[in-house]
Amino acid sequence: MKYQGHLKKMGISAETEDAQYHIRLDDQQIPLNEKLGQPIRIEYLGDIHCQSCGRASKKSFAQGYCYPCFSRLAQCDTCIMSPEKCHYDKGTCREPKWGEEFCMQDHIVYLANSSGIKVGITRHSQIPTRWLDQGAMQAMPIARVATRQLSGLLEVIFKQHVADKTNWRTLLKQDALDLDLAAKRDELFEICHEEIEELQGHYGLQAVQLIYDGEQQSFKFPVTQYPTKVSSFNLDKDPVAQGTLMGIKGQYLILDTGVINLRKYTSYLVSIEC
């Protein structure tokens, strides 16, 4: 079948430990798990429309925004990628109301295993979606904090001892080996206890709560075959990506001809045959 529309990040659910995927094009949803082993063709049709205001844009900024929205919206500010740089209390937040709703709420600091152990942060409401988006095969919450800024400050402490990014090439070449996340959590709590106590002393024990008994979740991704060499499609240079669908992991499609991160092309107008 042939579909057309603007790409959004793939929808993922995991009612069991098996991740279920669908491609989203505007209001259309294309189930993907059933397409494994079948040919798929994705063609960029040359148009990008901002996911916020809808205006046409020659380039996508921050995965789907035009430049004016990228420059204006709080969700595109640098503090979204680096929450410890939050400047709300200085009165310079781009959108204070949005900041109050998005940032001034409980966040979770977690450990995940995708290409190895990493530390990350997310809103509580985004569990387990955030973990699935990253292709994590194991994940566990290790702290609950009162604001997004606090999650960033705690992450900065932990990332002195553990990675905070996923190696996407490793992610797409193999399943992650099972790791003892609880043991790593306990190790981090011990190594970082002075810095954690300092943070708690400044913001309060209720604002920075360590989780000693967090439940570990495990996930399986629909991959029939991993590539021996990872090469990625770039729709900006070559508008067509096609091949046989061999797997789906994180926000990547794994084809027998290469891999493509669909989230990177949010707001691109595409045609998909599968």
pLDDT digits (tens, 9 = 90+) for 199-231: 999 999 999 999 999 999 999 999 999 998 999
Predicted confidence at residue 11, as pLDDT, reads 96
Predicted confidence at residue 155, as pLDDT, reads 98
Residue 91 lies in a domain: no
Torsion angle in degrees (nearest 10) through CA of 31, 32, 34, 38: 130
Predicted confidence at residue 12, as pLDDT, reads 95
**What range defines the domain where residue 24 resides?**
2-66+221-273
Predicted confidence at residue 51, as pLDDT, reads 96
Residue 138 lies in a domain: yes
Q: Average pLDDT by consecutive 10-residue portion of the chain (274 residues)?
A: 96 87 96 97 98 96 96 96 95 96 97 96 94 96 98 97 94 93 98 97 97 96 94 97 98 98 98 96
Give how many domains the chain has, as a whole number. 2
Predicted confidence at residue 16, as pLDDT, reads 75
On whether both 161 and 225 belong to a single domain, the answer is no
Q: Report strand pairing: 252-255 vs 258-261.
A: antiparallel
On whether both 111 and 213 belong to a single domain, the answer is yes
Predicted confidence at residue 17, as pLDDT, reads 79
On whether both 205 and 111 belong to a single domain, the answer is yes
The DSSP-derived string for 136-154 is: -SEEEEEEEESSHHHHHHH
The burial of 149, by beta-carbon neighbours within 10 Å (0-12 exposed, 13-18 middle, 19 or more buried), is given as: buried
Q: Taking all residues of the chain, what is their mean pLDDT, rounded to a whole number?
A: 96
On whether both 137 and 189 belong to a single domain, the answer is yes
Count the Cβ atoms, other than its own, within 10 Å of residue 11: 16
Residue 92 lies in a domain: no
On whether both 259 and 212 belong to a single domain, the answer is no
